[in-house]
Structure 1
């Protein structure tokens, strides 16, 4: 249950003299504390934290210098950093829905199962060295929930084709966006592959935006 050590730890295998355990990697632990400080004290968003880490060329666990939002988001939710590594957070269960990539392939998938989140009370905990205090860790989910409720990107009124459109050129999904003129707000769909903020640092598609109307 400890073999997949998160950023900040090194997994040490079981030996004849002791059980397996997490060993703190101080350089990575400093990054973890910095991320929590930026999020809970300086109130930077996940996107701003991601950009800051990339601008500073902070290495990820794999040695890659590029961070994405999902890595930061997962770090802010991992109880290992407060001293409780957890096993059983997800479970393989029958697939519940057809995702966008599956829809492009006609709804067919070689695997009939998918990972689904398990209730907190079903997780199995084990003690590991903590990197941050419980007070700091408790602030992170509060801010994540507040961001979810009050974010400008929050979808209050769904669009007709939301989460259904796929770019026929590059295969990335189309997301909702909008622009404003002096008289009105113009909603449209935009291809994810046309953005320069992606990990590859350049556009992979020249698809134009599509007006929702």
Structure 2
């Protein structure tokens, strides 16, 4: 039985106009018979694992096919190594392999010619990819959006090649940011927003009826909503063949250096201050909205020891034979970097102190200006960054000294010891830089005092619209989290940091 193999990919058909029908017709002429089995792929020839080619190889192995006709060697594969692998597989089983464009001879000269054609085909494929990538980058530099990126809140104007606001979806985007950043009785957290949108019957971008929390989270993190949209941000080279690869062999998407990103015009839906506030809440959400424990604590996720810097979660302890609820910086977890300095404070005392302060702000929002100015002079982030900078300088100095010893070939210290020390210092330096970058990012996201006052005003309106005596524990907890960023606990005092 004769087998006809044909393959064409989108870019090849657009370039040469040689369609699958053309290939099959020419192959049938070459075969000289209409009794042939057709094996057709419409995917890139860069990959060996293709549905029709795999079926052809299996049929050859089973003895169903005895002759194969193909238009050209590069239809089998665009990679020379794969071409040689396939033809060798067919040769071992005595299969006659015939090409429409040129003959395949099992001679040294024929093998050389075949290999040369394969190398040229592989080079041509690489050049096609390079030209297409360069063309896309040039269009992006001209301010043209290459395709519809399916961003919720926007539509794609294919004539102007621009992103435009979809007003119906933009209203949902604004609602999501309001629900996440403002006190309300409708939802709590990202999962609550997803459930709310699902219950309201709001469709997703692809028309699905169910919203997932990860979709909402991605919306809240999307810089396009404040007019920052980039192309050439991600390197997806080699990912096209992932569907044919095992999980551990799949090529991962990588972010390109920022200087290679191409900024494109994008109309904003959310104002910058609200977006940055949402980013801060997202960074702290895991700590601030941690899963419920057996006992609920009003200030859970907001407290930090002013001396050692450890967080202070709530716990139930035994004191003189009775249960006592307290916040403590003591860490009993195995491998904890800092065990804490042993500070513990009764929940009822600290809860009352913080709540009374917040109530004073809510009753008189103008007082927030003074609080913000006082608490932003030397915040924890600034103190910690200064400490990390000094530690980083010491680490770099230590590495330089070891490198000098290594270069000098000091006999008292073995080369292995120096290498180990250098490795440890390098790892320490990387961790310090990572932590420093995180704190710098947090500092960058600090909202100005004007926006802090607007947050207090929103919380105050919500607070004053209700009877203060009727506020539930959850109401108080949510109000505090919309006003307070962190509470630092010292021996005889506390410091409350706002957004």
Residues 3-53 of structure 1: per-residue CA shift (max 9 Å, x gap):
203011110114xxxx41112111100000000001111373111110111
Aligned to 2:157: 12
Contact 1:87–1:123, Cα closer than 8 Å, also in 2: yes
Q: Which residue of 2 aligns with 1:78?
A: 222
Residue of structure 1 equivalent to 2:254? 116
Partner residue in 1 for 2:167: 26
Partner Cα distance (1:26, 1:38) in 2: 18
- Show the counterpart of 2:290: 152
Distance 1:143 1:120, change over 3 A: farther
- Measured against aligned partners, the alpha-carbon deviations of 1:118-161 in whole angstroms (never above 9, x if no partner) come to 565653221211111111111111001011344425xxxxxxxx
Query: Residue in 2 aligned with 1:63?
Result: 207
Q: Which structure is richer in relative contact order (CA contacts within 8 A, separation 6 or more)?
A: 1
> In 2 relative to 1, CA 152–9 (structure 1 residues): closer, same or farther, beyond 3 Å?
same
Contact 1:87/1:125 (8 A) holds in 2: yes
Comparing 113-122 and 73-82, the one that deviates more: 113-122
Partner of 1:132: 270
Post-superposition CA distance 1:168-192 (Å, at most 9, x none): xxxxxxxxxxxxxxxxxxxxxxxxx
- Contact 1:5–1:22 (CA under 8 A) maintained in structure 2: no
Higher strand share: 1
Matched, 1:143 2:281: yes
Give the TM-score normalised by structure 2: 0.26
TM-score after normalising by structure 1: 0.57
Please list every run of 5 or more consecutive structure 1 residues that lacks an aligned counterpart in the other structure.
96-106, 154-213
The separation in 1 between residues aligned to 2:194 and 2:276, in whole angstroms, is 21
The farther-off stretch of 84-93 and 40-49 is 84-93
Q: Please tell me whether the aligned partners of residues 150 and 205 of structure 2 are also in contact (alpha carbons under 8 angstroms).
A: no
Distance in 2, matches of 1:140 and 1:119, equals 25
Q: Is the 8 A contact 2:226 2:271 kept in 1?
A: yes
SS of residue paired to 1:49: helix
SS in 1 for 2:173: helix
The aligned counterpart of 2:137 is none
User: Which residue in the other structure is 2:423 paired with?
Assistant: none
The 5 Å alignment of 1:190-205 reads none
CA separation in 2, counterparts of 1:121 and 1:139? Answer: 26
Q: Evaluate the alpha carbon distance shift between residue 94 and residue 152 of structure 1 in structure 2; reply closer, same or farther with a 3 A threshold.
A: farther
Give 1:94 deviation, angstroms: 8.3
**Cα distance 1:137–1:2, how it changes in 2: closer, same or farther (>3 A)?**
farther
CA distance in 2, matches of 1:146, 1:80: 22
CA distance in 1, matches of 2:150, 2:196: 24
Gaps of 5+ in 2: 1-145, 240-244, 292-499
Considering fraction of residues, name the structure with more helix.
2
Task: Give the whole-Å Cα distance in 1 for the aligned partners of 2:248 and 2:198.
Answer: 36
Cα–Cα, structure 1 residues 149 and 116, in superposed 2: closer, same or farther, change >3 Å? Answer: farther
Report how many aligned residue pairs link the two structures: 138
Name the Cα RMSD after superposition: 2.7
